[in-house]
Structure 1
Amino acid sequence: MLRIDTRQGTASHPDFSHGNTLPLTGVPWGMHYLTVQTNGDRGAWFFDPASRQFEGIRLTHQPSPWIGDFQHCLFRATTNKAAGTYQPDRATFSPAVIDIYDEPHQLRTQATATARGGALRYTSAAREFTFQIQAPDRWTIVHQDNRGVVLQLQNQTASADPDFSMYLAVSCDTPWHAEDTPLAYTISNSQPVVIHFTASFISAEYAQRALAELERQPFTKLVAANTAEWEKKMALFTVQDHHADRVQTFYTSWYRSLLFPMRFYEYDAAGGPVHYSTTERRALPGRLYTNTGFWDTYKTTFPLLALVQPTQYGYFLEGFLNSAKETGYLPKWLSPDERAMMPGTMADAVVADAVDKDIRPDLWPDLLTAMVHGAETPSDDPHYGRPNLKDYQTLGYVPADIPESVNQTLDYAYSDALIGVVATKLQRPDIAEDYAPRGQNYRHLFDPKFGLMHPKSRTGTFLNSFNPYTWGQGFTEGSAWQNSFAVYQDIPGLIDLAGGPQAFLHTLHTLANAAPRYNVGSYHGVIHEMAEMSAIDFGQIAISNQPSFHIPYLFALAGEPASTELLVKQLLLHAFNAGPAGFPGDEDNGSMSSWYIWSALGLYPLRPGFGDYVFGIPLFDEVTIQLPTGPLTLTTQRNQDYRLFVDARQRDDRAVTGPTITHRDLLATWQLTTTLGLLPKG
């Protein structure tokens, strides 16, 4: 397998993000991951790729430092009381295995993880060492003997169930002796020692049953199986290019696109999926997933998985539907349950994209019911459904006295249009005819004076104090420049409102050529997204955050594909790499990695739920994608960095015209050839 270094994007701190990622080892969409902890005192930023300190291997469920971890613990091995250190450039951080040599302790730590457990192998120069499990907050020993321990852990940043637990079962392949220090065990052995573990969110019995199966597997066999699983996923893309570093960035980004959402279900004794419901506080049948924020991931990650992993996408839909059945609403930000961190109900886009692409039709009726329920039913708990729904229903927009009013309005209008899409597919004209027009509610907030969205009062007047560079107030993590173009359901209508293609393009040119300046507005201080936009110095295109992801592709839809090609190629060449500073901002559960993958392929899913892709400019000489319908080969001719524009595009044996290709046409294509040129096509 191509060697992937999982430290991509980890050189981050609260004030500035190069990804805010963790170097996670496990299997795709695992229930648990392992990572290195260098300094637990840094809170959610407990890993620093430049640090030589080594505190141990952490069992983690952290999707983002802004969300925090839950049910985590630290596995630590020592031969004395000194702090551990290691040489980062000699360590292995890979999807399948972590390999660290702790110099003061003369102790080698290797770790791998399966979907619901894992193993650690310790090789010590001393004949005796101490293995310790460090667990914060509440923990209880359920069972302990001279070969293992079963723990009940209760730590989380937030959960609907204050007693939500994880049951950790640990066994050692050689006898150990419990020390006076809690959860510390002395191990005497001259050979490598292997410690297996499994963890369950349901019960100690579930964890112990899984451990009984896992501990029969040698460490090397577990690593080999893990490696094989990653190789199978990596083989979905075959990338050939004369720049090895860019190929590395592509595959490392693909690894990141496969981490979230995480499994939150197990198997009962009969082999059926079962999960713990934190809202009902009991085990229930069926799949469940967690650790994803749809506001981030619906734009790029889920469309990518819909293209190349539609079966897995169907399992995700099962899980999200189970969330809706248990809470009454489709999820918005799960970790482990609803956190409601961002505006909108963007799981609607994940559902509509599946419906448009014929994924899991057996689930569509129930999913449509859940979408409509969220659009019609206010929740007493602000975590669920659409906040400020009554205002939106009455006015057609969310008024300016409510924070993030513009973003809420645009997201709700998009979701309404998506309900229309799903209802049409299900031959429910009664629903479609009601919701499709609501997709036009974005028009209420468009201000032709600025060509941008503008917060509006309850009386229907635009706010007087409007500055397109001011962050917050009506906008989320940005200003009007970044957030005015989220009209995925009706870009032609947005262009018409602006006064036509030339006027719309003038606004986009102004946006791109503006200085990356900002007023802190209602944020009352500099937040990391502001600093990252300034650092990338790409005008007001804050590719460091999701609201700007589609902005470079709008030029093509307005009739100026050369600007899309120029902007996208510069971002691909200069804003991403495979190293610790590999991203221009928060990577966010695969969303930024997937943006890179789509853009490097020369395609972009600008409007999930509507079944097409905007053409950009491909980065690589050749890429073959293993689609469910057969291989698709993307070839780029005359592929040099100084060729910034597309001169011609051919699908199989015919020329391609127009800025988009449908999903169905892409699946039916075997060869897409792009020829680059020195100047825009005349």
Structure 2
Amino acid sequence: MKRKIGIAGLLILLTTVSLQAREFVDYVNPLMGTESTFEFSHGNTYPAVAVPWGVNFWTPQTGENRSGWIYAYTDEEIRGFRQTHQPSPWINDYGTFSVMPISGDLKVSYKDRGARFSHKNEIARPDYYKVQFDNGTVTELSASRTGAVLDIAFTPGKEQYFIVDAYHGGCRLAIDKQNRRVTGYTKNNCGGVPSNFANYFVLEFSHPIKDQGIQINDDLFPGKLVGEHDRVCAYLQFDVPEGEKLTVRVASSFIGEEQAWLNFDREVKNKTVADLKIESAKLWNSMMGRIVAEGGNEEQMKTFYSCLYRVLLFPREFYEFDKSGKPVYYSPYDGKIHAGYMYTDNGFWDTFRAVHPLFTLVYPEVSERIMQALVNSYEESGFLPEWASPGHRGCMIGNNSLSLITDAWMKGIRSFDAKKALEAMVHQTQAQGREASVGRNGFEEYDKLGYVPYPDYVEATAKTLEYAYSDWCLSRFAASIGNVSIAEAYEKKSQNYKNLFDPSCGFMRAKNKDGEWIEPFRAIEWGGPFTEGSSWHYTWSVMHDIQGLAQLMGGHEQMGAKLDSMFNAPADYNVGTYGFVIHEIAEMVALDMGQYAHGNQPVQHAIYLYNYIGQPWKAQYHVREVLNRLYNSGPKGYCGDEDNGQTSAWYVCSAMGFYPVCPGQPEYVLGAPLFQKVTLNLPNNKAFVIDARNNNDKNLYIDSAKLNGKKFTRNYLTHDEISSGGELSLKMNAKPNMKRGVRPEDFPYSYSVYKP
């Protein structure tokens, strides 16, 4: 039977077809978060042209060589196109080099060769980048795992040069004029690597090299073919006919030049920019397509998939494939070549919270390899990594590698050596590495006193709280593999958080080694015993025992009032031991959300704690406030550092409707979904749907819920409920339902209620 379709119906049909035809990668804006400075971060990101978890990324470089601020949206010149491994401007880069086309007079130094550009002549996508400089020269590029292809259209009538800049820090460049090639290596790094570390790279050009030269430090040597020194650049001159493009194919390896050529042959040989773009887009769409969001507006879709893009960049795959196709890697820990998997460029202080739990749910095959890499890191260095880039780096605090392992294990990811992992986890809590962030800083005092004393150790209170959570993780893991003695010992230590709670003020505080409170105490004071925050932010860092924290505060009502006051208090601060307004302080003040500082990680879970005390509607309200107010897809898209995907993962999880408050416990705490429908296409051929069809800006509260057709009152979902597939159907309302989710049996896990 045929039916007539009215104009309105036709428009709806066409819109649906249009949305279905659009690829996920089309929503992504890699420029999100790039308008940042040292003083104020809107993300501190750069536009990475890459594949998910790629060995190398490529990005336009507007900053100086070796500067952590690679690309700033407000800059007006591009100095090169940089192969980068940088996870954060604060950590900086390693093994990096750049290339730059020059039309006109030869200018080799990055200080002189910058070309002006406008964003209106720039296209930035995960799979492709294109810019036309003001002088008319056009550069296009796309990337593979270890390589890239660039097309250069030089300005007609101008001299044509191409610069290869190996930076400073020890490097070598060799020009093979006959075969139109350049080979080299660069050793630049910011620490955390063995003495034999190098990134070996190879380039091949589509057109003959007309002339060439080498610049060593600041001295130019025309005609020279080989340069080896602290700082080396090569320049190549071409005579590409008008209407043709110079194609540059490049690949690299941390193993050696032979492996670099093997990567070259596999990934970029005879390929075009268009070829790589198609391959890259396919990979991005495949990975992003595991989370299908529907029913949001254009800006929400852009923000969601731009955030998901950031989540899927790190940690970086640090392994390559040998001649037989087996994974091998250069170890950034012992400097040897090993079979198997290695990942790097990740700060677990940030990413244990939501990035890795998201992997365990949606990308478990990646999580499997990461767990194997963690065990490999321990065997090669004697410690689990906490901040790797590419080896151990001295940054941040805690033993959050234990969270990753436990969370993966408790969710069924078990293709790694559990006994070796337990050995590594215990050792991580009983030793100190060369860097304070490796191992457990203050472990002897922590075990003796039940807390880390201040001022003997900086950030002592924050460390105590993070250690207590990690001890809970270790206890859970040990119990699950049958080691009762270790489980019991660390279960007891997981309660050490109580030793630093002061009931007279309701905050976590610092104690000295004699057990005395450090005076004076100001909850708004940053630094000192805390990490990039104040007691307002760290008091909530008891992810494994929120019920226990509530009891310390006097009960659910008192804890609810304390949470309320965090959002209602003035955004006052004391710079404390920092001595100046660090960017995290400035960002908290700018948010105008009281003492809630979403721009940094320690407090990002706090909104969801209302679910543990029978006030879930407050979590729903604040979640939606943050989603709508603090994120957008533009260059000022974040409210603080993006940090290896964590601030993005908060958005992705929260926009879906849930958040992993306590990794290690296979649960996800409910918030308020942003979209009318989200489908998780899980790798076990299961699908889980969150359906909130009447969801909108006004209807932000969960009025009622059904899980697979049955009434559902809990404030959390289990991992099995999602991974088994099914549907969570939500009825949303403009008014909060203060009778739903208020019973103790509706609350998520807390140690004090549900002991292991």
Q: Normalising by structure 2, report the TM-score.
A: 0.88
User: Which residue of structure 2 aligns with residue 19 of structure 1?
Assistant: 43
- State percent identity of aligned pairs: 33
1:114 aligns with 2:144: yes
Amino acid of the residue matched to residue 330 of structure 1? L
Counting only pairs closer than 5 Å after superposition, residues 305-384 of structure 1 correspond to structure 2 as: 305-379=359-433, 382-384=436-438
The match for 2:125 among 94, 100, 103 is: 94
1:640 and 1:26 map into 2 onto residues whose CA distance is 34
1:634 and 1:318 map into 2 onto residues whose CA distance is 32
1:34 and 1:543 map into 2 onto residues whose CA distance is 29
Residue 170 of structure 1 and its aligned partner are, at CA, apart by 0.7
User: Which residue of structure 2 aligns with residue 642 of structure 1?
Assistant: 698
Say which is worse superposed, 557-566 or 355-364, in terms of deviation: 355-364
Amino acid of the residue matched to residue 122 of structure 1? I
User: Which residue of structure 2 aligns with residue 196 of structure 1?
Assistant: 249
2:101 and 2:174 map into 1 onto residues whose CA distance is 22
The match for 2:727 among 659, 671, 674 is: 671
Amino acid of the residue matched to residue 363 of structure 2? Q
Q: Cα 1:278–1:670, aligned 2, differ >3 Å: closer, same or farther?
A: closer
User: Which residue of structure 1 aligns with residue 228 of structure 2?
Assistant: none
Residue 79 of structure 1 and its aligned partner are, at CA, apart by 1.2
Task: Give deviations 1:620-662, integer Å, cap 9, x for gaps.
Answer: 0111110234111111132221223221111111111122121
The match for 1:6 among 14, 30, 33 is: 30
Amino acid of the residue matched to residue 623 of structure 2? V
CA contact (8 A) 1:5 1:92 kept: no
1:153 aligns with 2:186: yes
Q: Secondary structure at the match of 1:90?
A: strand
The match for 1:502 among 557, 561, 566 is: 557
The unaligned stretches of length 5 or more in structure 1 are none
CA contact (8 A) 2:674 2:696 kept: no
Q: Secondary structure at the match of 2:423?
A: helix
1:390 aligns with 2:444: yes
1:124 aligns with 2:160: no
2:671 and 2:527 map into 1 onto residues whose CA distance is 31
CA contact (8 A) 2:661 2:668 kept: yes
Amino acid of the residue matched to residue 373 of structure 2? G
1:330 and 1:42 map into 2 onto residues whose CA distance is 28
Counting only pairs closer than 5 Å after superposition, residues 520-669 of structure 1 correspond to structure 2 as: 520-629=575-684, 630-669=686-725
CA contact (8 A) 1:405 1:455 kept: yes
CA contact (8 A) 2:393 2:435 kept: no
Q: Cα 1:359–1:201, aligned 2, differ >3 Å: closer, same or farther?
A: same
CA contact (8 A) 2:402 2:474 kept: yes
Q: Cα 1:368–1:493, aligned 2, differ >3 Å: closer, same or farther?
A: same
Q: Secondary structure at the match of 1:643?
A: coil
User: Which residue of structure 1 aligns with residue 222 of structure 2?
Assistant: none
1:415 aligns with 2:435: no
CA contact (8 A) 1:396 1:441 kept: yes
CA contact (8 A) 2:568 2:594 kept: yes
Amino acid of the residue matched to residue 457 of structure 1? N
Q: Secondary structure at the match of 1:85?
A: strand
CA contact (8 A) 2:51 2:145 kept: yes
Amino acid of the residue matched to residue 38 of structure 1? T
Structure of greater Rg: 2
Q: Normalising by structure 1, report the TM-score.
A: 0.97
Counting only pairs closer than 5 Å after superposition, residues 68-467 of structure 1 correspond to structure 2 as: 68-81=92-105, 83-104=114-135, 106-126=136-156, 129-137=160-168, 138-142=170-174, 144-146=176-178, 147-182=180-215, 183-190=234-241, 191-213=244-266, 214-379=268-433, 382-401=436-455, 402-467=457-522
1:381 and 1:643 map into 2 onto residues whose CA distance is 49
Q: Cα 1:212–1:677, aligned 2, differ >3 Å: closer, same or farther?
A: closer
Q: Cα 1:487–1:519, aligned 2, differ >3 Å: closer, same or farther?
A: same
Amino acid of the residue matched to residue 445 of structure 1? L
User: Which residue of structure 1 aligns with residue 19 of structure 2?
Assistant: none
1:406 and 1:369 map into 2 onto residues whose CA distance is 26
Residue 352 of structure 1 and its aligned partner are, at CA, apart by 0.4
Amino acid of the residue matched to residue 96 of structure 2? H
Q: Secondary structure at the match of 2:445?
A: helix
Residue 101 of structure 1 and its aligned partner are, at CA, apart by 1.0
Amino acid of the residue matched to residue 699 of structure 2? R
The unaligned stretches of length 5 or more in structure 2 are 1-22, 106-112, 216-233, 739-756
The match for 1:478 among 526, 533, 537 is: 533
1:549 and 1:100 map into 2 onto residues whose CA distance is 37
Q: Cα 1:383–1:666, aligned 2, differ >3 Å: closer, same or farther?
A: closer
1:276 and 1:648 map into 2 onto residues whose CA distance is 53
Residue 201 of structure 1 and its aligned partner are, at CA, apart by 1.0
Residue 670 of structure 1 and its aligned partner are, at CA, apart by 1.4
Say which is worse superposed, 220-229 or 667-676, in terms of deviation: 667-676
Residue 244 of structure 1 and its aligned partner are, at CA, apart by 1.3
Measured on the aligned residues, the alpha-carbon RMSD in Å equals 1.6
CA contact (8 A) 2:384 2:424 kept: yes
Say which is worse superposed, 28-37 or 123-132, in terms of deviation: 123-132
Amino acid of the residue matched to residue 210 of structure 2? H
CA contact (8 A) 1:651 1:669 kept: no
CA contact (8 A) 1:108 1:123 kept: yes
Q: Secondary structure at the match of 1:50?
A: coil
Residue 40 of structure 1 and its aligned partner are, at CA, apart by 1.9
Q: Cα 1:544–1:380, aligned 2, differ >3 Å: closer, same or farther?
A: closer
CA contact (8 A) 2:524 2:573 kept: yes
CA contact (8 A) 1:50 1:88 kept: no
2:491 and 2:114 map into 1 onto residues whose CA distance is 61
Q: Cα 1:289–1:41, aligned 2, differ >3 Å: closer, same or farther?
A: closer
1:292 and 1:445 map into 2 onto residues whose CA distance is 29
Residue 378 of structure 1 and its aligned partner are, at CA, apart by 3.8
CA contact (8 A) 1:294 1:333 kept: yes
1:229 and 1:41 map into 2 onto residues whose CA distance is 31
User: Which residue of structure 1 aligns with residue 16 of structure 2?
Assistant: none
2:556 and 2:328 map into 1 onto residues whose CA distance is 52
Q: Secondary structure at the match of 1:397?
A: coil
Say which is worse superposed, 240-249 or 475-484, in terms of deviation: 240-249
Say which is worse superposed, 560-569 or 368-377, in terms of deviation: 368-377
Amino acid of the residue matched to residue 92 of structure 2? G
Residue 580 of structure 1 and its aligned partner are, at CA, apart by 0.5
User: Which residue of structure 1 aligns with residue 55 of structure 2?
Assistant: 31
1:58 aligns with 2:113: no
Residue 217 of structure 1 and its aligned partner are, at CA, apart by 2.3
CA contact (8 A) 2:166 2:173 kept: no
Q: Secondary structure at the match of 1:176?
A: coil
Residue 554 of structure 1 and its aligned partner are, at CA, apart by 0.8
Amino acid of the residue matched to residue 149 of structure 1? V
Q: Secondary structure at the match of 2:280?
A: helix
Residue 54 of structure 1 and its aligned partner are, at CA, apart by 2.1
